[in-house]
Amino acid sequence: MAELQFFTGTMDSGKSTLALQTNHNHAARGRVGRIFTTHDRAGESILSSRLGLQHDAIEVHPDFNFWRYVVDTLTHGGRIDYLICDEAQFFTADQIDQLARVVDELQIDVFAFGILTDFRTMLFPGSARLVELADRVLVLQVEALCWCGKRATHNARTENGAMVVEGEVIVVGDVDAVDEAPADVAYEVLCRQHHRRRLTAARAKAVSMAPEPLPFG
């Protein structure tokens, strides 16, 4: 039976790597797939992993229709056994419904990868629909860590080094390496407590280096 599987984790938890590995393993056994992504950091029509691997992909725009694409391909004699969908958090709810239909009515496996929540801790519409419809939701085993050492569960956005909780939902960016000059817009994974307190690694460091206030007499 074909399945709709949703692999999720914070930014930098290895989702794109797993997407490429999944494609590799299925292709190695002669299965024919299609790779989709949208808004990848490496540019249009590319699925890229921080481990350095990348693969050509079909860019998914908001009006792209997965059901129509697959039916058209099959009608013209093409073969599709599975779909790999990276950055699926950015897909529309309708597109996730189309993917579920592809699984149920055409028996094509769909492997979707994406983050659950945005920088405000709100579910992305695509991820919400995946949680509602997926046969299986799998959380990645490799844990990204907060600067405090706890498992990171949330994605924080920084602007010029300061954490923000308002702004456009979609802003392509990367996790900044600690101690590097902060990018205009960057991301950092945090545990819930530090996300709630807006305590990024840089701010925690600044706070810990601030001189102790003198005790009042």
Ligand X SMILES: Nc1ncnc2c1ncn2[C@@H]1O[C@H](COP(=O)(O)OP(=O)(O)O)[C@@H](O)[C@H]1O
User: What is the x/- site pattern for ligand X, positions 106-145, by CB under 6 A?
Assistant: ------------------------------------x-x-
153 binds ligand X (CB under 6 A): no
194 binds ligand X (CB under 6 A): no
CA 184 and chain centroid, separation: 20
Closest CA to 4 of 140, 114, 102: 102
6 binds ligand LXEULUCI (CB under 6 A): no
Strands (E) in the chain, as ranges, are 4-8, 33-37, 46-48, 54-56, 58-59, 82-85, 109-114, 136-139, 154-159, 162-164, 185-190
Contact residue for ligand LXEULUCI among 31, 42, 71, 173 (CB under 6 A): 173
Residue 43, marked binder: no
Strand partners of residue 7:
113, 138
Residue 80, marked binder: no
Judge whether 87 counts as a catalytic residue: yes
Decide whether 51 or 206 has the Cβ nearer to ligand LXEULUCI. 51
Residues 6+ apart with CB under 8 A from 11: 115, 144, 155, 175, 187, 189
User: What is the x/- site pattern for ligand X, positions 44-63, by CB under 6 A?
Assistant: -----xxx------------
Which residues are known catalytic residues? Answer: 87
